[in-house]
């Protein structure tokens, strides 16, 4: 059988710097574990604009559609700030998300023991935390019609519409249940069915998908405002949380900060299953191109490395290998290695991007 294909789009700023460390891990997987990927690389964002005059060339889009998974670094930077909106680097990423129809956004909150004191919450509350928020990404109040600012009598009225179809809810619910089966088999769905009709439908459809196709997964429902409180009070009660676009935006940012630095946060965006059964998938760190530290060797590569680990687990069914990578990250952190973003005010000596990559590779060995 052919090797699974991986398209790497490193992008701009620190994107290529953190991606370089992931490429070394991919090399390690081949050499030491006999796991080979057909890796191809292409341009996205400002890097693509510089060559093609657009932030994502059609040929690159086609490669992304055909790949088993896409791994993206980051896009953007001050050099491109004055560009027309239609060719801004971010448009390249938006085009990928839209044309691949990536409706399910996975945002893990994973707290490595060595960083538990870095959280704003107590060590006990966050140490060992490992949850994933699944946010619906392509519908809901950010897209619903009617929308706009209108005149009503002699004042203005601002309108947005929360709109979800049954099929939109069902597909993201499925994606959450599939995910749960690769984890600890537990899903909590969050909405506001107490005050919103779209929330009532959300709750009903999630329950129906569960009862029909995933009765083995433990399902609970929670109002999203209570969910926010519970996330901060005792996040370890959750495993997979599935929620709509708006609540997911807020809850995922909140959950992310339970664990510390932006330089640690991976993400995945999944779409419909392809002919081979794998979902369309884009993996990327949550952070941007960090122009303030680009070129200085200060970037933390862990967010990008953990994004690759997510690809191993969720696109390639290589959960054991994903765990291996996560354990290696855990070990280097436990050994005290810190990039600059992980240092408190009293400091110590930070390691560089490559030194962090070296250490993760050594830990993998
Ligand atoms: P940013 O995430 O690039 O940086 C925010 C802060 O976090 C900066 O101080 C940066 O140095 C630090 N930081 C980020 N990642 C880090 C890492 N791996 N290691 C250590 N420190 C890290 O967000 P910002 O500054 O708002 O945006 C910069 C550029 O990135 C803009 O052009 C923006 O449009 C773009 N951007 C791109 C995203 C993407 O590609 N998905 C997401 C967010 C922003
Ligand atoms: Mg947000």
d(CA 54, CA 44) in angstroms, rounded, equals: 9
How many Å lie between the centroid of ligand 1 and the Cα of residue 262?
Answer: 8
d(CA 132, CA 248) in angstroms, rounded, equals: 11
Question: How do 130-136 and 104-110 pair as beta strands?
Answer: antiparallel
Report whether pLDDT(13) > 90: yes
- Residue with CA closest to ligand 1 atom 37: 288
List, for residues 44-66, the tens digit of each pLDDT value.
Answer: 999 999 999 999 999 999 999 99
Check 12, 192, 283, 341 and give the catalytic one. Answer: 192
Tell me if residue 249 is catalytic. Answer: yes
Domain ranges in the chain are 1-109+261-365, 130-250
| pLDDT given for residue 354 in this prediction | 98
| pLDDT given for residue 8 in this prediction | 98
Average pLDDT, the chain: 95
How many Å lie between the centroid of ligand 1 and the Cα of residue 149?
Answer: 31
- Element (H or E) spanning 197, and its range? helix 197-213
| pLDDT given for residue 346 in this prediction | 67
Report whether pLDDT(261) > 90: no
Report whether pLDDT(230) > 90: yes
Report whether pLDDT(281) > 90: yes
| pLDDT given for residue 280 in this prediction | 96
How confident is residue 259, by pLDDT bands cut at 50, 70 and 90?
A: confident
Express as a percent the part of the chain with pLDDT over 70: 99
Tell which CATH classification among 2.30.30, 2.60.40, 3.40.50, 3.90.550 matches the domain 130-250: 3.40.50
| pLDDT given for residue 118 in this prediction | 80
Which has more confidence, 289 or 121? 289
| pLDDT given for residue 343 in this prediction | 86
For 229, phi and psi rounded to 5 degrees?
Answer: -65, -45
Report whether pLDDT(173) > 90: yes
Best of 289, 302, 350 to mutate for ligand 1, by most ligand atoms within 8 A of CB?
Answer: 289
- Residue with CA closest to ligand 1 atom 38: 288
d(CA 309, CA 322) in angstroms, rounded, equals: 5
| pLDDT given for residue 139 in this prediction | 94
| CA angle (30, 35, 40) in 5-degree steps | 70
The number of residues in the chain equals 365
Q: What is the mean pLDDT of residues 74-80?
A: 97
| pLDDT given for residue 348 in this prediction | 80
* Binding annotation for substrate: 97, 107, 135, 225
Q: What is the mean pLDDT of residues 316-338?
A: 95
How confident is residue 305, by pLDDT bands cut at 50, 70 and 90?
A: very high
Ligand closest to CA 135: 2
How many Å lie between the centroid of ligand 1 and the Cα of residue 243?
Answer: 25
Ligand closest to CA 285: 1
Query: Tokens 């953190």 correspond to what residue?
Result: 18
CATH superfamily, with its number, for domain 1-109+261-365:
Isopropylmalate Dehydrogenase (3.40.718.10)
How many Å lie between the centroid of ligand 1 and the Cα of residue 198?
Answer: 34
| pLDDT given for residue 256 in this prediction | 86
Check 204, 211, 253, 320 and give the catalytic one. Answer: 253
- Residue with CA closest to ligand 1 atom 22: 263
| pLDDT given for residue 66 in this prediction | 95
- Cβ atoms 106, 134 nearer than 8 A: yes
What's the ipTM?
Answer: 0.97
Report whether pLDDT(126) > 70: yes
List, for residues 141-150, the tens digit of each pLDDT value.
Answer: 999 999 999 9
Tell me if residue 280 is catalytic. Answer: no
Tell me if residue 253 is catalytic. Answer: yes
Best of 76, 288, 338 to mutate for ligand 1, by most ligand atoms within 8 A of CB?
Answer: 288
How many Å lie between the centroid of ligand 2 and the Cα of residue 285?
Answer: 14
Q: What is the mean pLDDT of residues 281-293?
A: 97
- Residue with CA closest to ligand 1 atom 10: 290
How is 306-332 classified by DSSP, letter by letter?
HHHHHHHHHTS--HHHHHHHHHHHHHH
Q: What is the mean pLDDT of residues 189-196?
A: 98
Tell me if residue 225 is catalytic. Answer: yes
Angle, helices 15-33 vs 353-364, to 10°: value is: 20
Q: CATH topology of 1-109+261-365 equal to that of 130-250?
A: no
List, for residues 86-114, the tens digit of each pLDDT value.
Answer: 999 999 999 999 999 999 999 999 999 88
């Amino acid at each position: 059988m052919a090797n699974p294909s991986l398209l790497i789009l490193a992008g701009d700023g620190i994107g290529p710097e953190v991606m370089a460390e992931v490429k070394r891990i991919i090399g390690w997987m081949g050499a030491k574990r006999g796991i080979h990927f057909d890796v191809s690389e292409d341009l996205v964002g400002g890097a693509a604009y510089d060559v093609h005059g657009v932030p994502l060339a059609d040929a690159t889009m086609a490669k992304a559609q055909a790949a088993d998974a896409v791994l993206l670094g980051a896009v953007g930077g001050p050099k491109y700030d004055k560009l027309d909106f239609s060719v801004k680097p971010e448009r390249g990423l938006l085009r990928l998300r839209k044309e691949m129809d990536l409706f399910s956004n996975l945002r893990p909150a994973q707290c490595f023991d060595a960083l538990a004191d870095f959280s704003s919450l107590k060590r006990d509350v966050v140490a060992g935390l490992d949850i994933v928020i699944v946010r619906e990404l392509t519908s809901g109040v950010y897209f619903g019609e009617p929308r706009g600012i209108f005149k009503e009598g002699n004042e203005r009225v601002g309108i947005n519409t929360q709109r979800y179809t049954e099929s939109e809810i069902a597909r993201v619910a499925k994606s959450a249940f599939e995910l749960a089966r690769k984890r600890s088999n537990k899903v909590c769905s969050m909405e506001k069915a107490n005050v919103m009709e779209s929330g009532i439908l959300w709750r009903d459809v999630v329950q129906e998908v569960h009862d029909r196709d995933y009765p083995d997964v433990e399902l609970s429902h929670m109002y999203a405002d209570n969910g926010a409180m519970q996330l901060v009070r005792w996040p370890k009660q959750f495993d997979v949380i599935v929620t709509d676009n708006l609540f997911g935006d807020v809850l995922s940012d909140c959950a992310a900060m339970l664990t510390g630095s932006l330089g640690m946060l991976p993400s995945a965006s999944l779409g419909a299953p392809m002919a081979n059964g794998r979902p369309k998938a884009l993996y990327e760190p949550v952070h941007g191109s960090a122009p303030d530290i680009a070129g200085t060797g200060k970037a933390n590569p862990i967010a990008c490395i953990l994004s690759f680990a997510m690809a191993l687990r969720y696109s390639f069914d290589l959960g054991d290998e994903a765990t291996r990578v996560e354990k290696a990250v855990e070990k280097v952190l436990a050994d005290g290695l810190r990039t600059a973003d992980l240092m408190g005010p009293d400091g110590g000596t930070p390691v560089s991007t490559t030194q962090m990559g070296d250490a993760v590779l050594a830990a993998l060995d």
